[in-house]
Amino acid sequence: MNNRYLVLLALSLGLLTFACGDDEGGPSGPGDDPAASVLAAQASASENSIALSWSACADSDFEEYRLYRSENPGIESDPGSATLVDVFVSSSDTTFVDTGLEWSETYYYALRTLDTEGLEAWSNEDYATTPDSSGGGEYLTCHDIQGEAASSPYVDQIVSVLGIVVVGGGEYYSSTSSYAVIADPSGGAWCGLFLYGDSTAALVRGDSIVVTGTVQEYYGLTELTYITEVIELGAGSSLPAPSVLSTGELATSADPEQWEGVLVEVQDVTVTADSLGYGEWMVDDGTGDCRVDDLGDYTYTPSVGDVISSMVGVLNYNYSDFKLEPRDGADIVR
């Protein structure tokens, strides 16, 4: 066999290997682009925010999503002129709420999916327009209902409120009807609201809803009751971050009315009382005692002297005391 024949044979084998290489972009050639997501943008009816959702990429070589925003169409053709809103490294992350936007402004969005081979695919481009600064007029916010006052300006009125569920129906114990809690996407003071009634039982955290009912002051707790309608706008919304506060700020003596119904967090606290009756106990970070209750489903048993790294819950008000209500065991980190 002469050298010329060996060279031709090697070239032939090389071409065959290239033609029959895998489809994932190994040394033998490029693979397929990742599956493109279908993107949808939905403006809040009362907040200067837009909720984004998209179909998941099921490819095994998925690497990340990149979400872009622009005030002008044509993001795919000129991504450098758009704002990179966020990067998601899990293919199951398919929702995002873009907050703090300008009022009465149209925003365009596109999602770029990348795989581990460096290949990419763009979603469709969608857009939404934020409401005017009056809040859109049709729905109220939790902040509207709280009214920055101990008693709501809407007491005994039938209202429709837009919010994200931060405590699902049945997560808090009730011997009668179910409780749930909603919040404005922005979170913060005055931005939470208790819901009471059997129609809240099916709600889960992350549901974006419009709920219609009657505003009441139940022994000092502002809540929406006699609920006549719950409209689900979507699921899996990002919950507002809990407001980090000192225990002294949540003490009943400090009158923390602005945090009623709000998801809050205390950090580096010590149990100062473990048996106040009815499942209640006390913690202190050095600024004053804060009362904790057991409406949520957690197994932790407090003992005086225990140190808790962080504790999250909604601030409740009953029997003349403000009480932090962890939702489950994950809310108590030791």
Which string of b and e fits 173-209 if b means at least 16 CB within 10 Å? eeeeebbbbbbbbbbbbbbbbbbbbebbeebebbbbb
Of residues 15 and 320, the one with the higher pLDDT is 320
186: left (phi over 0), alpha (psi -120 to 50) or beta: alpha
**In this predicted structure, what is the pLDDT of residue 103?**
76
The mean pLDDT of 187-207, rounded to a whole number, is 96
**In this predicted structure, what is the pLDDT of residue 100?**
83
**Statement: residue 11 has pLDDT above 50:** no
Helix, strand, coil percentages for the chain (3-state, nearest 5): 10, 40, 45
Domain ranges across the chain = 39-129, 142-234, 243-333
Q: CA angle, 109 as apex, 103 and 113 as ends, to 5°?
A: 150
pLDDT band at 46 (very low <50, low <70, confident <90, very high): low
**Statement: residue 143 has pLDDT above 80:** yes
159: left (phi over 0), alpha (psi -120 to 50) or beta: beta
240-264, pLDDT tens digit by residue?
A: 999 999 999 999 999 999 999 999 9
DSSP per residue, 68-91: EEESSS-TTT-GGGSEEEEEE-ST
Q: pTM of whole model > 0.85?
A: no
**Statement: residue 95 has pLDDT above 70:** yes
**Domain 39-129: homologous superfamily in CATH:** Immunoglobulins (2.60.40.10)
**Statement: residue 138 has pLDDT above 60:** yes
- Give CA–CA dist 110/282, Å, rounded: 48
275-318, pLDDT tens digit by residue?
A: 999 999 999 999 999 999 999 999 999 999 999 999 999 999 99
Tokens linked to 257: 């009315």
**In this predicted structure, what is the pLDDT of residue 137?**
52
pLDDT band at 30 (very low <50, low <70, confident <90, very high): low
- Give CA–CA dist 243/265, Å, rounded: 6
- Give CA–CA dist 218/253, Å, rounded: 20
Of residues 47 and 121, the one with the higher pLDDT is 121
Residue 310, judged by CB atoms within 10 A of its CB (0-12, 13-18, 19+), counts as middle
The mean pLDDT of 140-152, rounded to a whole number, is 94
Task: Identify the CA nearest to 296 among candidates 315, 277, 309, 310.
Answer: 315
pLDDT band at 130 (very low <50, low <70, confident <90, very high): confident
243-333 to CATH, choices 2.130.10.10, 1.10.1740.10, 2.40.50.140, 2.120.10.80: 2.40.50.140
**Statement: residue 118 has pLDDT above 50:** yes
In this chain, the answer to whether the domains covering 142-234 and 243-333 adopt an identical fold is yes
**Statement: residue 113 has pLDDT above 90:** yes
Q: Which residues pair with 283 in a beta bridge?
A: 271, 290
The mean pLDDT of 317-324, rounded to a whole number, is 96
Quick one: DSSP state of residue 307? Answer: E
Q: How many percent of the chain have pLDDT more than 90? A: 79
**In this predicted structure, what is the pLDDT of residue 104?**
79
The mean pLDDT of 10-25, rounded to a whole number, is 39
Q: How many percent of the chain have pLDDT more than 70? A: 88
Q: Which of 18-27, 106-115, 314-323 has the lowest mean pLDDT?
A: 18-27
- Look at domain 142-234 and name its CATH class: mainly beta
Q: Contact 288/241 with Cβ under 8 angstroms?
A: no
